[in-house]
């Protein structure tokens, strides 16, 4: 049976759209599959190439049983993504076009940057980094808030062929150190700190701590470039600095100055690097398959994976998905709320928009600060026409009621995107009806850090959508559903979501561990890239992503591994065992539920709970903090000692229908766990 009702594309979006009908989508999709070289070749013609490719247009092996898995697009072609994102537009007469309207945490903090200004700053930054000894192939750690310098740093790295590794500003010193060490970065770009809502984050202190942790493991961060962000803010009176403004801000600033340590041999202010740097910086001409960036994502073993993306394929894919999924035109103003610390920010705040010469809003703050009206104020302030956010934010904003949305005009809106987790139909319909006033297309985009860009998505002027479905594959993407044995499910059905062949933006390897790349994504089903997600295909051929089928949790759109949280918890001296499962959460999508077995004789106290939460915050970051902790005198295990998470998930949800428990070694733990459950929730 076909699920859901079709919501047709808004008629007003059709005229002039890049893809304006299902017929056109089907034709383009067919060509992208039948003749990828013609399809992507025509797209590549719109970019600048120092040299065109020499080898096969696309070469790959997806079958781990037949040898090394590899993916190559346009091997031998030479280009530079920064050149394509900046110089190409400036030379094309767009120097004065706004690339970013920067909106700070406080509504009064704002800035704008044109393509011409960006090119200037990027060249200086690139020269500055070169002067610090950063060269082609080196990896630079980037630990910055959502400020223009973040985009400048990324493009500067790309310009000189250095690989950037952005670490989200919410990660802890431990997590930052792990990533710096894994990629052997010896240069980092960070900032003094930033405000998020009412909270001041001392980023430099965390970076200093990470540098110490690296030093303790024999790795030296040679240079740390520090953007002075806090003092330049708040030239206005700031409510965040104490009710009614006043003079609280200088006090806070002084607090920072006192606290931040400064290693004169290592640390360098950004402004000093920039003022001493050469004005011009020739781009390095990179091979199509040279690394562009790495970005860590959670792995089911607990150790994060450095997902590596390369130059040309990523460039074509980020640009093309941006253009079609949002139907971007030069008159649009686009706003993606994601942090650049995640892949959504890489592809759809930085590269995708800039490769299309787009004008975007870059937002430092939170959608709920100073109030839940902020997103709608920003949309009206900049006349945003294409808006992209996460279901978690949509659900939380929805709770605040319709009035605070509808009192703002929102007339400029045309396309509303969703990303990061499954969107429930209720939130989808609210987004469509209230935020979009029924006039906008909603595009639910399914993809991953690994895919580089959207792989399942509707196109706003072409695809009749269904609330809750990511609909159809993007150009060049061939999805399939497999059962546990690897047999393909044709027609309606549910199974593992896999892809049969590469698209240009797919990751190329796990940095430093190609074997892990093969094992994680290609060994389960020979010949397919395995997403780790389940999906259902309905009678109309629409795909509905149902969520992870491995040991991952998706909390507010952040992918976390149960193993990683468990290993933080068992570091506590009172804990002997920990098991983490996901439970549904009305706003976050999923919440972190932990079962803790104490060491013999250790009491279960409020103090212990607090310490356990702190452990996770220290090891990973505040966004991974457990929502629920329950004492577990024992854990349900199979006779071979494997924890039965399926059973724990049921207990966490207070669902007594446990299914088959015949393989469980000791069933008596179940009654105990249910008993403890009610008493001990946070």
Q: Residues interacting with ligand PRX, by CB under 6 A?
A: 297, 343-344, 419-422, 444-449, 470, 531-533, 545, 547-548, 554, 559
> Of the candidates 87, 118, 81, which has an alpha carbon nearest to the alpha carbon of residue 101?
118
> Of the candidates 48, 28, 623, 537, which has an alpha carbon nearest to the alpha carbon of residue 298?
623
Rg of the Cα trace of the chain? 25
| Shortest Cβ 557–ligand PRX spacing (Å) | 6
C-beta closer to ligand PRX: residue 531 or 561: 531
Size (the chain), residues: 682
CA distance 128 to 276: 7
C-beta closer to ligand PRX: residue 150 or 343: 343
C-beta closer to ligand PRX: residue 253 or 305: 305
| Shortest Cβ 548–ligand PRX spacing (Å) | 5
| Shortest Cβ 448–ligand PRX spacing (Å) | 4
Helix 173-183 / helix 203-216 crossing angle, nearest 10 deg = 50
C-beta closer to ligand PRX: residue 170 or 193: 170
| Shortest Cβ 554–ligand PRX spacing (Å) | 5
C-beta closer to ligand PRX: residue 32 or 448: 448
C-beta closer to ligand PRX: residue 553 or 594: 553
DSSP for 228-239? --TTTS-SS--G
| Shortest Cβ 445–ligand PRX spacing (Å) | 5
C-beta closer to ligand PRX: residue 49 or 334: 334
| Shortest Cβ 7–ligand PRX spacing (Å) | 16
| Shortest Cβ 115–ligand PRX spacing (Å) | 26
Buried b (16+ CB within 10 A) or exposed e, 660-682: eeeebeeeebbeebeebbeeeee
C-beta closer to ligand PRX: residue 550 or 577: 550
Q: Which long-range contacts (CB under 8 A, 24 or more apart) does 585-589 make?
A: 585/555, 585/627, 586/395, 587/392, 587/395, 587/396, 587/399, 587/556, 588/392, 588/555, 588/556, 588/627, 589/391, 589/392, 589/395, 589/421, 589/422, 589/554, 589/555, 589/556, 589/557
Q: What one-character DSSP code corresponds to residue 474?
A: P
Question: Six-digit token pair at 499?
Answer: 């892809």
Per the CB < 8 A criterion, the answer to whether 649 and 581 are in contact is yes
Per the CB < 8 A criterion, the answer to whether 170 and 341 are in contact is yes
Task: State the SS3 of 145-213.
Answer: CCCHHHHHHHHHHHHCCCEEEECCCCECHHHHHHHHHHHCCCEEEEECCEEECCEEECHHHHHHHHHHH
CA distance 368 to 108: 16
C-beta closer to ligand PRX: residue 4 or 107: 4
| Shortest Cβ 505–ligand PRX spacing (Å) | 12
Q: What one-character DSSP code corresponds to residue 458?
A: -
C-beta closer to ligand PRX: residue 191 or 297: 297
| Shortest Cβ 307–ligand PRX spacing (Å) | 8
CA distance 39 to 289: 19
| Shortest Cβ 341–ligand PRX spacing (Å) | 11
């Amino acid at each position: 049976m076909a699920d859901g009702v079709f919501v047709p594309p808004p008629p007003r979006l059709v005229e002039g759209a890049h893809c304006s009908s299902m017929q056109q989508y089907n034709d383009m999709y067919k060509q992208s599959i039948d003749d990828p070289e013609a399809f992507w070749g025509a797209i590549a013609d719109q970019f600048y190439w120092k040299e065109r490719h020499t080898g096969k247009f696309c070469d790959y092996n997806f079958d781990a049983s037949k040898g090394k898995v590899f993916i190559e697009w346009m091997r031998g072609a030479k280009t530079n993504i920064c050149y394509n994102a900046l110089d190409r537009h400036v030379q094309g007469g767009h120097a004065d076009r706004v690339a970013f309207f920067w909106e700070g945490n406080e509504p009064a903090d704002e800035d704008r940057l044109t393509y011409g200004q960006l090119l200037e700053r990027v060249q200086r930054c690139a020269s500055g980094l070169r002067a610090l000894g950063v060269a082609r192939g080196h990896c630079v750690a980037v630990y910055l808030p959502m400020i223009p310098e973040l985009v400048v740093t990324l493009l500067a790295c790309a310009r000189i062929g250095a690989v950037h590794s952005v670490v989200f500003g919410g990660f802890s010193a431990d997590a930052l150190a792990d990533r710096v060490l894994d990629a052997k970065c010896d240069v980092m770009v960070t900032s003094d700190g930033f405000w998020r809502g009412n909270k001041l984050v001392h980023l430099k202190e965390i970076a200093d701590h990470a540098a110490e942790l690296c030093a303790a493991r024999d790795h030296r961060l040679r240079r740390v470039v520090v953007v002075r962000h806090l003092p330049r803010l708040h030239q206005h009176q700031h409510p965040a600095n104490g009710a009614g403004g006043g003079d609280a801000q200088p006090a806070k600033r002084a607090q920072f100055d006192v606290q931040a340590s400064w290693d004169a041999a290592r640390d360098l202010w950004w402004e000093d690097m920039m003022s001493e740097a050469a004005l011009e910086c020739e781009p390095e001409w990179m091979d199509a398959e040279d690394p562009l960036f790495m970005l860590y994502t959670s792995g089911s073993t607990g150790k994060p994976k450095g997902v590596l993306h390369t130059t040309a394929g990523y460039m074509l894919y980020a640009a093309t998905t941006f253009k079609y999924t949002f139907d971007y035109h030069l008159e649009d103003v686009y706003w993606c709320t994601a942090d650049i610390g995640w892949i959504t920010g890489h592809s759809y705040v930085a590269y995708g928009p800039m490769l299309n010469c787009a004008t975007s809003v870059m937002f430092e703050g939170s959608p709920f600060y100073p109030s839940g009206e902020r997103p709608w104020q920003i949309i009206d302030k900049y006349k945003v026409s294409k808006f992209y956010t996460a279901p978690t934010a949509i659900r939380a904003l929805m709770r605040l009621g319709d009035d605070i949305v509808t009192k703002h005009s929102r007339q400029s809106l045309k396309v509303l995107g969703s990303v990061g987790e499954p969107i429930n139909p209720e939130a989808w319909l609210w987004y469509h009806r209230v935020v979009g006033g029924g006039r906008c297309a909603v595009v639910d985009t399914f993809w991953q850090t690994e895919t580089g860009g959207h792989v399942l998505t509707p196109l706003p002027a072409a695809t009749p959508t269904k609330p809750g479905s990511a609909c159809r594959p993007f150009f060049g993407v061939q999805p399939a559903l497999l059962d546990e044995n690897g047999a393909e499910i044709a027609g309606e059905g549910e199974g593992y979501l896999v892809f049969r062949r590469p698209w240009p933006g797919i990751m190329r390897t796990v940095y430093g561990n190609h074997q892990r790349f093969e094992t994680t994504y290609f060994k389960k089903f020979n010949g397919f890239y395995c997403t780790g997600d389940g999906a259902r295909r309905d009678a109309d051929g629409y795909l509905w992503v149902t969520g992870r089928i491995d040991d991952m949790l998706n909390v507010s759109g952040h992918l976390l591994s149960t193993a990683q949280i468990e290993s933080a918890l068992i570091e506590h001296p009172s804990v002997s065992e920990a098991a983490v499962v996901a439970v549904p959460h009305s706003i976050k999508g999923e919440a972190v539920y932990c079962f803790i077995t104490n060491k013999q004789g250790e009491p279960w106290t409020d103090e212990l709970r607090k310490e356990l939460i702190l452990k996770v915050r220290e090891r990973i970051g505040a966004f991974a903090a457990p929502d629920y902790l329950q004492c577990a005198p024992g854990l349900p295990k199979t006779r071979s000692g494997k924890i039965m998470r399926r059973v724990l998930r049921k207990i966490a949800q207070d669902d007594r229908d446990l299914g088959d428990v015949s393989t469980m070694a000791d069933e008596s733990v179940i009654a105990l766990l249910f008993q403890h459950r009610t008493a001990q929730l946070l």
